[in-house]
Structure 1
Amino acid sequence: MPSFADLGLAPSLLQALEELNFTTPTPVQEQVIPMALAGQDVAGQAPTGSGKTAAYGLSILQNLDLKLDAVQVIVLVPARELALQVRDALKKLGKFLPGLRVAAFYGGHAFREETASLTQPPHIVVATPGRLLDHFERRSIVPNQLTVLILDEADKLLELGFQDELVEIVKRLPRRRQTLLFSATMSDKVLLLIRNNLTRPRVVQSSEEEGKLPENLTLLGQVGPVEKKPAALLHLLSQPETGRALVFCNTRDRCVELTRFLQGRGVAAEVLHGKMPQPERDKALMKLRNGSSQVLVATDVAARGLDVTALDTVIQYDAPDKADAFQHRAGRTARAGAVGTAHILATPHEQTHVQKWAIAESIQWKPLHAPALPPAAPKAPKPVSITLHVSAGRKDKVSAHDLVGTFVAHGGLERADVGHIEVFDHYSYVAVPRMQAQEVAQRVTGAKIKGRKIRVSVVE
């Protein structure tokens, strides 16, 4: 097996990989990195979880000119969450590159905040197509020094109707550039996109077979009438082995309705759908990541690109229409060698539809188990952690290290009691023990970080 050093990567990148415990390249990384470092165009068929972000990320980071104050790389992604995930991954991989600037631009929050952050151009821009085109129109981003364009999850970019935006964006880019495209599927539309935008591309296919689920994933199905699904879901979530769960519904309204039902029965549940404001989406994801909620109820589009570690269980409350959606949902757990379980709650009609797919052959079906619903008495215990909102973030030069020090010095917490921290541009989230949350918030409010007083409040 080759190592990352064998692929020709710089010492600063190898140092970051070592810190991230990335020891051996995935098949996609092994193929893509040498080609991309050599400046070749690449068309890669790679599903979620194949390591494609690091595959293109390491090559573009190595080839950056950090002394040049200009946008040199644009990564186009279909969804806001994926933009944030890719931005954060590139920052971690480039941790030891002095002066590296990576920015994510997407709809759903104030345009002026993004414009203000462009006073010093980022080296890499990760963006959704509509928002990037807005920046091009206003000339807040001028891509005349661009060297690399990356189309990530190209099938989803097309599925979500971004064809026209992609055409307009490419028109404004230098013709002499490197283009890397990655897609889970190679439909006719994706192949046309490759023909129109890539020059003599090298084709890479992940050794992971399309239509294959993680090895450590158990597929379980329950069949019964639709009116028994809520009770069956509640019963599943009350089992200790269910742990942290992602529940999929087909519509926004169903997500909202189901989340209210679960909350009314004492389950720490949050909702995620495409029409939510970005701060609310950030908050819902943060609560699941840091353990202050147990369940995230989401639509497919909102859950695209989510990177929630330690996700024990996926439950498909509504059966999807297509096999690839089934694979995407079920594959959110049992990632990177971990063990996970994917459930599907189906009516007899839905079961008949799902059983037509080869990927669903290993589902272990049984009758829907739906004990009588309790009134409103919680079955699932509340998570031991709760999230605090801090009124300072990355733009205030605040780091996770600063927050830990402040919560220990002023909040009366031991260092081990300060849980998961995530720092955004203008605010941060910190997980703390639920029993101490109110007292800690009061103690830390008014403390100074980097000379600025902060406000701290409990996130409900």
Structure 2
Amino acid sequence: MKTFSDLGISPKLVKGLTELGIINPTEIQEQAIPVLLEKPTDFVGQAQTGTGKTAAYGLPMLELINASKNHVQALVLCPTRELAMQVSKQLFKFTKYSDKIFSETVYGGAQIDKQIKALQRPTHIIVATPGRLVDLMKKKVVDLTNVKTVVLDEADEMLSMGFKKDLDTILSALPATKNRWLFSATLPEGIRQIINSHLSSNAIKIKVSGKNVVNKKIEHKYILVEDADKLTTLLQYLKFKGKERGIVFCKTKNTTKTLAKQLIAKNISADAIHGDLLQKERDKVMRAFKNESLRILVATDLTARGIDVEDLAFVVHYELPSQDEFYTHRSGRTARAGKEGMSLAIVNSKELKQLRFFEKTLGISFSQIRQK
């Protein structure tokens, strides 16, 4: 099995990775890193969420930064505020033992004046949501003339959130860019248009198969129950887990709201994030969850994108997702930084078919917990 040193990553970055428990590269990291380090290139990496894409582009990007030059040299575009913050946090952790590389995170829903002030400090990397970066460009308060590397992270999500025009604006304003790296779980027509318009015709393309994407340190289990017994089963499981913390996933915001209220009524420290929350309300819930005053977070798939909370022992699928990509993303919220975790599906007899589909497409195996 290859190591990050084998891929060309410098000893100081490897030391930081080792401390995080990241020892062996994932498939997308193993394939992408040597290509991105070899020479300036345009690149398309197709891989599901949860496969380690941040390190796949982040490590080569960090290797290419000249820390002695205090101007913006790299740009990472993300669909959500949470993912942008998570990327910045990971880049910071990677560089614990290397030269000081400074990044700033800019996103909508926060005071732009504070972000403008922050960008006046030495900055090597900007991690941004497209809309806020365009706002900063219009105000002429961000200098992108020396950007040599631009990364589109979760490009399909940015497209589905209506950022195509902003992406075109940003990419058209980066004539000096030598590296344009696009990472996406899927390649719909809109993404292909961006590739054709803004990446060179000889861009290197790598696709990682779905069966290799799930973290091997996650244990997958299920409990078979009738719909009417799902809440009771969840309560029993949470009681069994003691004080351990986790996320419970639902498909709809209405179920998310209802379930959170039901858990609170049973004296469980829980709250929900869903699409109806204002950003400040969502921030309040996430702060409480991260500082451990909340034990359980109830979430929908979209609102959970970019959540990076350490030491989550489990995730529960109260309702199964419709896509294998969502299952990968959900289960990947546990077993972070080399630790082990549990992914539990509470399913009815009709949902068993979906479980078998996930087993086949993701190359995983579910074991049944039989209720006493």
* TM-score relative to the length of structure 1: 0.70
- Structure 1 residues 278 and 311: CA distance shift in structure 2, 3 A: same
Equivalent-residue separation in structure 2 for 1:208 and 1:320 (angstroms): 16
Aligned twin of 1:32: 32
Q: How much has 1:121 moved relative to structure 2? A: 5.0
Equivalent-residue separation in structure 1 for 2:291 and 2:329 (angstroms): 23
Equivalent-residue separation in structure 2 for 1:245 and 1:11 (angstroms): 34
- Residue identity matched to 2:56: A
Aligned twin of 1:105: 106
Equivalent-residue separation in structure 1 for 2:204 and 2:308 (angstroms): 28
- Segments of 5+ residues of structure 2 without an aligned counterpart are none
Q: How much has 1:174 moved relative to structure 2? A: 1.7
- Structure 1 residues 161 and 346: CA distance shift in structure 2, 3 A: farther
Q: Name which one, 1 or 2, has greater alpha-carbon Rg.
A: 1
Q: Is the 8 A contact 2:51 2:214 kept in 1?
A: no
1:202 aligns with 2:216: no
- Residue identity matched to 1:44: G
- Residue identity matched to 1:73: A
Deviations 1:377-417 (A, max 9, x none): xxxxxxxxxxxxxxxxxxxxxxxxxxxxxxxxxxxxxxxxx
Q: Is the 8 A contact 2:247 2:298 kept in 1?
A: yes
Q: Is the 8 A contact 2:218 2:331 kept in 1?
A: no
Deviations 1:63-94 (A, max 9, x none): 11333332221101111111111001111222
Q: How much has 1:149 moved relative to structure 2? A: 0.7
Aligned twin of 1:220: 222
- Residue identity matched to 2:7: L
Aligned twin of 1:94: 95
Deviations 1:243-283 (A, max 9, x none): 32211123334323322221121101132234545555445
- Structure 1 residues 278 and 192: CA distance shift in structure 2, 3 A: same
May I ask how many residue pairs the two structures share in their alignment?
Answer: 368
Aligned twin of 2:4: 4
- Residue identity matched to 2:211: E
Secondary structure at 1:62 match in 2:
helix
Q: How much has 1:285 moved relative to structure 2? A: 3.5
Equivalent-residue separation in structure 1 for 2:246 and 2:85 (angstroms): 21
Deviations 1:325-349 (A, max 9, x none): 2333234334566443333344566
Aligned twin of 1:60: 61
Deviations 1:95-151 (A, max 9, x none): 344442201111222222212212225211111111111111222223122111101
- Residue identity matched to 1:201: A
- Residue identity matched to 2:326: A
Aligned twin of 1:174: 175
Q: Is the 8 A contact 2:251 2:319 kept in 1?
A: yes
Q: How much has 1:20 moved relative to structure 2? A: 3.3
Equivalent-residue separation in structure 2 for 1:47 and 1:143 (angstroms): 29
Q: How much has 1:176 moved relative to structure 2? A: 4.0
Equivalent-residue separation in structure 2 for 1:176 and 1:307 (angstroms): 30
Q: Is the 8 A contact 1:109 1:277 kept in 2?
A: no
Equivalent-residue separation in structure 2 for 1:319 and 1:7 (angstroms): 37
Q: Is the 8 A contact 1:49 1:335 kept in 2?
A: no
Equivalent-residue separation in structure 1 for 2:128 and 2:84 (angstroms): 6
- Residue identity matched to 1:42: F
Greater relative contact order, per chain length (Cα 8 Å cut-off, separation 6+): 2
Equivalent-residue separation in structure 1 for 2:50 and 2:164 (angstroms): 25
Secondary structure at 2:302 match in 1:
helix
Deviations 1:395-450 (A, max 9, x none): xxxxxxxxxxxxxxxxxxxxxxxxxxxxxxxxxxxxxxxxxxxxxxxxxxxxxxxx
- Structure 1 residues 275 and 108: CA distance shift in structure 2, 3 A: farther
Equivalent-residue separation in structure 1 for 2:220 and 2:252 (angstroms): 25
1:318 aligns with 2:358: no
Secondary structure at 2:303 match in 1:
helix
Q: How much has 1:228 moved relative to structure 2? A: 3.9
Secondary structure at 2:70 match in 1:
coil
Q: How much has 1:312 moved relative to structure 2? A: 2.4
Equivalent-residue separation in structure 2 for 1:142 and 1:135 (angstroms): 9
Secondary structure at 1:301 match in 2:
coil
Deviations 1:19-56 (A, max 9, x none): 43443333333332222222222211233343321221
CA RMSD of aligned residues (A): 3.2
Deviations 1:299-348 (A, max 9, x none): 11121122233322222223333333233323433456644333334456
